């Protein structure tokens, strides 16, 4: 659909009596900027199709980071930060109420303390990358920020 043969179009658009060397050279010069724009468009299209092929799911983000920063191995992985006491917001801080403990005694489970997300920890997930891999941290942060969900916080650590 986007394959354009500019040489053939140049020749076909000229009348047969004007298809001389000088006129073909003139049309080549006039069409050259359009050819450059077309090449830029095709590059942009390929990059956009590549970017749209990934989502914010951990498996896709891991695959993308391994593809971009460690194509020979799988030394980049993502781990969710699990804080044992996270949950819903039951009250506001200005209300000066103690956290509400919700559980059933018959469950025999330890209580779950519900508190604010900001109290659960500084990060939602951690990206681990091998120390043997050389990478550009600002570029990695840009890539992760492009694909992560809004409001999710992350950290990059080497192992």
- Residue 89 · residue 119 · CB < 8 Å: no
Quote the domain boundaries for residue 154: 54-81+121-159
For residue 1, is it within any domain?
Answer: no
Percent of the chain with pLDDT over 70: 77
pLDDT (0 to 100) of residue 132: 86
Reported as a single tens digit per residue, the pLDDT across 92-149 is 667 676 666 666 667 666 655 555 555 556 788 889 998 888 888 999 999 999 999 8
For residue 71, is it within any domain?
Answer: yes
Q: Tell me: do 40 and 93 sit in the same domain.
A: no
User: Which backbone phi and psi does 70 adopt, to 5 degrees?
Assistant: -145, 75
Q: Tell me: do 12 and 47 sit in the same domain.
A: yes
Q: What is the mean pLDDT of the chain?
A: 82
pLDDT (0 to 100) of residue 1: 79
Reported as a single tens digit per residue, the pLDDT across 66-89 is 998 888 888 898 988 765 444 455
Residue 11: DSSP 8-state: H
Kindly report whether the global pTM for this prediction surpasses the value 0.75.
no
Coil, strand or helix at 129: strand
């Amino acid at each position: 659909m986007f394959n354009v043969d500019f040489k053939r179009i140049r020749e076909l658009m000229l009348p047969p009596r004007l298809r001389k060397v000088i006129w073909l050279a003139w049309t080549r010069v006039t069409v050259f900027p359009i050819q450059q724009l077309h090449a830029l468009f095709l590059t942009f299209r390929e990059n956009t199709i590549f970017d749209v092929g990934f989502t914010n799911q951990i498996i896709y983000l891991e695959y993308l980071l391994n593809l971009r920063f460690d194509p020979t191995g799988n030394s980049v992985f993502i781990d969710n930060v699990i804080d044992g006491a996270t949950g819903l917001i039951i009250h506001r801080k200005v209300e000066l109420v103690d956290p509400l403990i919700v559980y059933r005694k018959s469950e025999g489970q330890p209580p779950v303390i519900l508190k604010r997300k900001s109290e659960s920890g500084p990060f939602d997930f951690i990206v681990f990358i091998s120390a043997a891999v050389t990478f550009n941290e600002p570029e990695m942060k840009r890539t992760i920020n492009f694909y992560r969900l809004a409001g999710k916080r992350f950290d990059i650590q080497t192992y």
